[in-house]
Amino acid sequence: MAEDYKLGSIQALVVAIYEIGCLIGSFIIIGYGDKLGRRRAVLVGAAIMLVGTAIQTSSTTLAQLIIGRIVTGAGNGMNTSSIPVWQSEMAPPKIRGFLMLFEGALITGGVMISYWINYGFWFYNKSSFQWRFPVAFQAFFGIILIIGILAFPESPRWLLKHGKDKEAAQIMARLKQCDVGDQELQKDIEDIKKINEITAGRKLTVKEFCSNGPDMHLWRASIAFAAQAFQQIGGINLVTYYATVVFENSLGFDPTFARLLTGVLGTEYFLSALVALFVVDRLGRRRLMMWNAAGMGLAMMVAGIGLSVGNQSGAYAATVMIFLFNTFFAIGWLGVTWLYPAEVTPMRIRAEANGLSTSANWLFNYAVVQLSPIMINTIAWKTYFVFMCFNFAFIPVVYYTFVETNGYKLEAMDTIFQIAHKNKENPVWVEKRVRKGNTDEANAVENRSSSTGSGEGEKEKVEHTEHKEDA
């Protein structure tokens, strides 16, 4: 028993220490992300990941493996803090959700591949190649990332913020497929420059970052932070990191079948993430988060009940619920919570706020990964009830504090929060009125917008379409 506990503790440390590295990477972006730029930050992050992978693959001691995981995590933390911001600043509002959630689908694709590699190498136990190859394989994707990012341009919004107007205009013209002199393009550039001019030459301070002035920085940074924290404490990494352990130890399946089932789970996870691509710009961010939090909570509740029964039928029911939980998470919480912080935060604090929100992701990721084995060993099936409570608690928080961002230009969100600050009211209610249209508030936001988004009702406006919001 003592030996098992020791091995479990070592396993938890080696797994969870990666999140500490990711946390360090997100802090690097908080401090230096806006200086580096979106593109350069990703290049540096990818290079650091390759170094960390080399350290891990060549490990001869546990200490070296841990150091390698920290280094790899730091690179990944930089990338996960920078890529969503870069994508959101490049993508048109109408398909921004689709493009960002495509990244989420690729994440699940990576999880799926890792599960099947784990299953395949389960049968090869002749040497350390059994674990060295899966670790080294991640370098393949890091190399693809570096090659790919070299072919892409810098964010035009970042370029405008740093006085590189000509380069920004050329990139925006390519993205819009129009001439540099296009009237609408020039208006967009002027709008972004006006926002930048307000704070030009002023260093962002902690006081300004935490203020609830006209742009409501604190509110916006807080809900960005909460979105990423909620993603983790809902219980996904009990499933993602410890799926094989859960199937083998909690549900009682034999080791080979547990690994096969984990591969099937990863495949289902990937397919579910693809569903999100086609609903995120139709249903909006808030609906997906609330509806799927309810589904995740119910799945955890039934899984806990199934395991509490203590027989084979209960284990089968819990297995189905784990698959169902993965489905709800992939649709409503996997990609959306990477998309939302970049959409809801203003240009002035976007890099720093996204670095902070990403740090929440990795901090709570670390906590869940460290605590899950302990919870399973001590309170067993009650663990699922803990996560059930968290998921149900997300719903009112999202409803009352998360402002819908679907279909708006990034700069249009500033107007919504400025109106809320002026009227001293909840920005959620302001956005609801704006989406319905036919008000001075809607006109003010519309002046910041030019593309169409989508939602129920399909009544198109200049930037967004009216749809009945959550009751």
Place of tokens 């698959």: 323
278: in domain:
yes
Task: Write down the pTM of the prediction.
Answer: 0.85
DSSP string for residues in 212-250: -STT-HHHHHHHHHHHHHHHHHTTHHHHHTTHHHIIIII
Split at pLDDT 50, 70, 90, the class of 140 is very high
Confidence at residue 468, expressed as pLDDT on a 0 to 100 scale: 39
Confidence of residue 391 (pLDDT cuts 50, 70, 90): very high
Asked if the structure places residue 471 within a domain, the reply is no
Considering the domain boundaries, does residue 421 fall inside one? no
* Number of separate domains in the chain: 2
165 inside domain: yes
Domain containing 82 — which CATH number? 1.20.1250.20
Question: pLDDT tens, 290-319?
Answer: 999 999 999 999 999 999 998 889 989 999
- Under a CB-based contact definition with an 8 Å cutoff, are residues 407 and 94 in contact? yes
What number is the average pLDDT over the span 250-258? 86
In our burial notation (b when 16+ CB lie closer than 10 A, e otherwise), range 292-317 reads bbbbbbbbbbbbbbbbeeeeeebbeb
Determine contact, residues 391/300, Cβ cutoff 8 Å.
Answer: yes
Is 436 within the bounds of a domain? no
Domain of 24? 2-152+210-401
Span 319-341, mean pLDDT?
96
What is the pLDDT at residue 310? 85
Task: Show which of 401, 432, 461 is a domain's final residue.
Answer: 401
| More confident position, 431 or 124 | 431
Q: Residue 331 has what DSSP assignment?
A: I
414 backbone dihedrals φ, ψ, rounded to 5°:
-60, -40
Q: How far is CA 57 from CA 12, 76, 169, in A?
A: 19, 17, 44
Q: Is residue 415 assigned to a domain?
A: no
Looking at residue 387, its pLDDT comes to 97
**Structure token pair of residue 200:** 């030009």
Give the model's pLDDT for residue 78.
Answer: 96
